[in-house]
Amino acid sequence: MSGSANADAAIDARTIVPIMRKHGYSNAYGSMISAASSMIAPIMPPSIGLIVYGLVTDTSVGRLFIGGIVPAFLIAFTLMAMVRWSAGRRGYVPAREQRASLREVGRFARLSLWALAMPVLLLFGLRIGWFTPTELGAIAAVYAFIVGVLVYRGFRWRDSYELLRESAHTTANVMFILAAASVFSLILSLEQIPQHLVTTLLTLSDNKYVLLLLINVLLLILGTIFDGLALMIILGPMLLQVTQSLGVDPVHFGVVLVFNTTIGSLTPPLGTVMYTVCSITRCSVEEFTEFLPYLAAMIAVLLMLTFMPPLVTFLPTLLFG
């Protein structure tokens, strides 16, 4: 719902990692899961990255949103499989011995109805124009606060100051990280290093799949030192012109580009999501290198999306023609 990997990672690191530690998971493992799961946010609507790409390349944001649905579920299923595999290797046992019965699932679903209604109400309000994607996060926070106080009674009105104070500290940490990354990105942009790399890249092949592979490799490298949104603004229009000349669908390329730059935000030396999570959970960057198997899995998903365009284009074509 936040549409941002940094925001999603910060929320998970603040709320979920402490619970995972209480259940016996290592701090590094919880941090890694929080960072990995944040890769869904920039692909699943309402994605800030897809909105920015649509604006700078004049591509339909509606088609981009619909095109991101299948890839987002594919990312989620891949991450769940990786969690199952890695938890087994680490010897983490299930929280319960037996599966929940249908009656138990129904009871908890009924209790969760107010919480489950939030994404539906928010996306409905976004679709009919009650608020903008930027305002959606604030609306979600107000809704969650009211439901938390009046319905679930998880905290009281007197806790508001402490909640706001904690949120301000988390936001400040993330903003300092983004500011430092933006300055470095600006220096590289002024030196026109990305443009020189792209020019060199385009002289290597006129086969669209070879070119897409080379673009992916280039963006994964640049993503380690550039902010993802900066890369989209700087290189998005230029790369789209080249890929369109070879017959690549702009919606397909947009989803691949956004996912690629999202992966870059989790990798050293300047991965903003990595530093956001580590600053909140106090996980060292050395411990965070346990993320490498998840990184390999996400690159595999990226290649699937790259070389199997219908995964992205099927739904937009079905709905919009």
What is the tens place of the pLDDT at every residue in 142-183?
887 888 788 877 677 777 787 778 777 766 765 675 676 667
Asked if residue 26 is part of any domain, the answer here is: yes
Asked if residue 139 is part of any domain, the answer here is: no
Tokens for 144? 């969650």
Residue 276's domain comprises 5-95+170-313
Please confirm whether the linkage preceding 309 is cis (ω < 30° from 0). Answer: no
The per-residue pLDDT of the chain, averaged, comes to: 82
Asked if residue 48 is part of any domain, the answer here is: yes
Question: For position 178, what pLDDT does the model report?
Answer: 60
Q: How many domains does the chain have?
A: 1
Asked if residue 128 is part of any domain, the answer here is: no
Question: For position 181, what pLDDT does the model report?
Answer: 60
Kindly state the helix (H) or strand (E) to which residue 241 belongs, with its residue range.
Answer: helix 228-245
Percent of the chain with pLDDT over 90: 17
Asked if residue 109 is part of any domain, the answer here is: no
Question: For position 153, what pLDDT does the model report?
Answer: 74
Distance (Å, rounded) from C-alpha 50 to C-alpha 5? Answer: 12
Question: For position 189, what pLDDT does the model report?
Answer: 67
pLDDT in tens, 41-82: 889 877 878 888 887 888 888 888 889 989 999 999 999 999
C-alpha torsion sign, points 187, 192, 198, 204:
negative
Tokens for 67? 């095109």
Asked if residue 247 is part of any domain, the answer here is: yes
Question: For position 260, what pLDDT does the model report?
Answer: 93
Asked if residue 117 is part of any domain, the answer here is: no
Give the count of alpha carbons within 13 A of 318, CB side only.
9
Question: For position 80, what pLDDT does the model report?
Answer: 94
Asked if residue 287 is part of any domain, the answer here is: yes
Q: Per-residue pLDDT for 108 more than 90?
A: no
Residue with tokens 């926070």: 141
Distance (Å, rounded) from C-alpha 209 to C-alpha 205? Answer: 9
3 state DSSP class of 273: helix
Give the count of alpha carbons within 13 A of 248, CB side only.
29
Question: For position 72, what pLDDT does the model report?
Answer: 93
Question: For position 22, what pLDDT does the model report?
Answer: 87
